[in-house]
Homo-oligomer: A and B are copies of this chain.
Amino acid sequence: MTHRVTIADVARAAGVSLQTVSRAINNKGEISDDTRQRVLETSQRLGYRPSMLARGLVTRTTLTIGLVVPDIANPFFSEIARGAEDAAHAAGYSLLLGNSTENPAREADVLRTLEEKCVDGIVLCSSRLQQAELAALMDRLPALVLINRPAPNNNAGVIAVDDEAGAEDGTRHLLRGGRRAVGFLAGPRGSHSAQERARGYACALANAGIAYDATRSLPCQPYFEGGREAMQTLLAAHPETDAVFCYNDLVAVGALQACAAAGRRVPEDVAVVGCDDILLAALVTPALTTLGVDKREVGAAATRLLLERIKCCTTECQEVMFRPALIVRASAP
């Protein structure tokens, strides 16, 4: 690493002007095949690498986008990252990665750095920022796509998951399997996705002509313990329960544990359906029937949407909705 080879070095070595080299490299403007060939060869021979810094300064594009996730070590986000990187790479873009660590201050810090690096746009996952901060960010940024979070002013790209449709599908699956006393382990009270899922659950019951019974819906913490406790309560209050639809897979695994403790066989006595299709879902015994989206495709779609918005200077809201697919395993065949 002595001196970086510049366009001037190539020009000198090839006996042409700077501009001619630039034209050859970018393959634009009028230039004879002969000269282009010669320049390209020289450039190759010298190991020339165009500086995207200098180029970006002029063109105001860096061919780089930012990806901000809470934690790249979380399989959910690393799948998204893979899809994002694939889509970016395919379009000639690079990915600047940042972890927000569920910490708004660090998230803001990461976003600030991304701005300074002059990224052409950002894919932002599960942002914890205030609406106002987000709006300000969008003002300063050429393009933004949000995953798992509504846009503050309806003027960003948004990738959303249709939780309601998913929950309806999951519940209907249980009903079609002949279950009639279907409970719902509903997750945290305030959660947006919990409300969506509750709606889908209720909708499926209504469509099947089954009366909605509020005492069969139990809020719970979105973890093992929450699911276990809620399931115990449900079985105590409604011993006839023959199925549960769960807020997420962790809750569902908790429900599995509660069933085992209560001597109920899954799926013979009680069928269980989870949500999200986390890695664990396929590995527990019995394996969990669940609803999941293709995370990699979500990342790729977010990136493609971002690139399209960059290209078209789109500022209006665009929303892409993913409908979770039912993945049938042993817990609810």
Residues of A in contact with B (beta carbons under 8 Å apart): 1, 47, 49-54, 56-57, 62, 64, 67, 71-75, 78-79, 81-82, 85-86, 89, 94-99, 106, 109-110, 112-118, 136, 139-142, 253, 279-280, 283-285, 296
Contact = CB atoms under 8 A, between A and B. Distances in A.
Given A82-B73, A95-B98, A296-B73, A64 B117 contact: yes
Given A53-B56, A78-B75, A47 B140 contact: yes
A253 B280 CA distance: 12
B85 A97 contact: yes
B71 A82 contact: yes
Contacts of A54: 57
B89 A49 contact: no
A112 B54 CA distance: 16
Nearest to A1: B142
A73 B75 CA distance: 7
A56 B52 CA distance: 11
A52 B64 CA distance: 13
Given A49-B112, A285-B285, 16 more contacts: A1-B142, A49-B140, A51-B118, A52-B116, A52-B118, A53-B62, A54-B57, A62-B117, A64-B96, A64-B117, A72-B72, A73-B82, A75-B75, A78-B81, A253-B283, A279-B283
Given A73-B296, A89-B110, A96 B97 contact: yes
Contacts of A56: 53
B85 A89 contact: no
B1 A50 contact: no
Query: Which of A62, A85, A112 has the largest number of chain B CB atoms within 10 A?
Result: A85
B95 A1 contact: no
11 contacts: A1-B140, A47-B136, A49-B115, A50-B116, A53-B56, A64-B117, A71-B82, A85-B98, A85-B99, A94-B96, A94-B117
Nearest to A224: B282
Contact of A72 (B82, B112, B113, B115): B82
Contacts of A51: 57, 116, 118
A205 to B, nearest CB: 31
Contacts of A62: 53, 117
Contacts of A79: 73
Contacts of A1: 139-142
Nearest to A83: B73
Nearest to A64: B117
A173 B282 CA distance: 29
Contacts of A106: 89
Contacts of A283: 253, 279-280, 283-285
Contacts of A64: 96, 117
Given A72-B72, A82-B99, A283-B280, A57 B47 contact: no
A20 to B, nearest CB: 20
Contacts of A99: 82, 85-86, 89
Nearest to A75: B75
B53 A118 contact: yes
